[in-house]
Amino acid sequence: MYRNNLVLQWKTEVISTSTATRGQNESMACALLQICGLKVRYAQNSATSVLALDNVSLSVYPGEVIGILGESGSGKSTLAAAVMRLLPQTSEHDGAIFLEDKELLEMDESELRRIRGKSISLIPQDPATSLNPVIRVGTQISEVLRAHQPLNRRDRKNRVQELLQEVGFDDPERTASSYPHQLSGGQRQRVAIAQAIACRPALIIADEPTGKLDSPLQMQILTLMSEIVRRHGTALLWITHDPATLVDFADRIAVMHQGRIVEEDETAIILRQPVHSYTQTLVRLSQDFALDSSRGLGPLEYAR
């Protein structure tokens, strides 16, 4: 009963404010992802626990790019793990997460296997830890297709090469036959992206995917993801500690601090006129983007 009342209260609050923030014609009914009063605790031992997420609520709409901004330990990755239902067994959670009309926190493992990769997918921070080092990358992408699409072996092979070409490989056949260690860090990240978009999911969660790449490679990945979102209408949760990666990329930014969303607004407003002191500090410390008063937010200008 408490859970149902919590979700109903959260929906009522969002509907009451959505007119002012998103216009008269939008409502909860068209939200792709709805996170409702989410709390997550990690058990330290039998007597104590740490509150990692504290009453987090967020809506994501089809085709929208949302930046989840915060420093390490702010709860960003816990939020991603909760949406993907990849929290450790030692965690406890409360609240609700809806993907369209499906409540993710109430799904069993068989239901989760059907939607992971098909309806929702994850781009990890370090593909070196998610890609199997002894399996060719083409086979690893093919496995995603085999799990969710009724394609024969030849069609899967062709689809893998199409995906590798889409994410920027000039020789997709050669890439497909390579092992992860034979590729550079940027190339492995593109393979991870190919896996994530293989079944055209409605929502992609990217957990600091450019965090270990240098500035030129970051720009390449950001450009690629922008093209994918525009081409397929995919919604994207882009998790980062760096405001510069969100310039001219994210539609909105939700700033996380100590497990809570402390500020949420359009990207230009957050980066030009941050309200919360924590957001002000993040923006002030970032030297990687330029603000042009005549055009709003300017392009990324890496100064490092």
Question: What CATH number does residue 236 fall under?
Answer: 3.40.50.300
List b or e across 43-76, with b for residues whose CB sees 16 or more CB atoms inside 10 angstroms: eeeeeeeeebbebbbbbbeeebbbbbbbeeebbb
Give pLDDT, residue 292: 42
70 belongs to a structural domain: yes
How many residues belong to the chain?
A: 304
125 belongs to a structural domain: no
Q: In this structure, what token pair is assigned to residue 179?
A: 């092992």
Give pLDDT, residue 176: 97
Give pLDDT, residue 4: 43
Which residue range is the domain that position 273 belongs to?
Answer: 65-84+108-119+201-300
Give pLDDT, residue 290: 47
Model-level pTM greater than 0.85?
no
179 belongs to a structural domain: no
Residues with Cβ within 8 Å of 236's Cβ and at least 6 positions away in sequence, in order, are 64, 65, 66, 203, 204, 205, 206, 225, 229
Question: Which ranges of the chain have pLDDT less than 70?
Answer: 1-29, 287-304
User: How many domains does the chain divide into?
Assistant: 1
257 belongs to a structural domain: yes
Q: Are 185 and 217 in contact (CB under 8 A)?
A: yes
Give pLDDT, residue 196: 94
280 belongs to a structural domain: yes
9 belongs to a structural domain: no
146 belongs to a structural domain: no
23 belongs to a structural domain: no
Give pLDDT, residue 126: 86
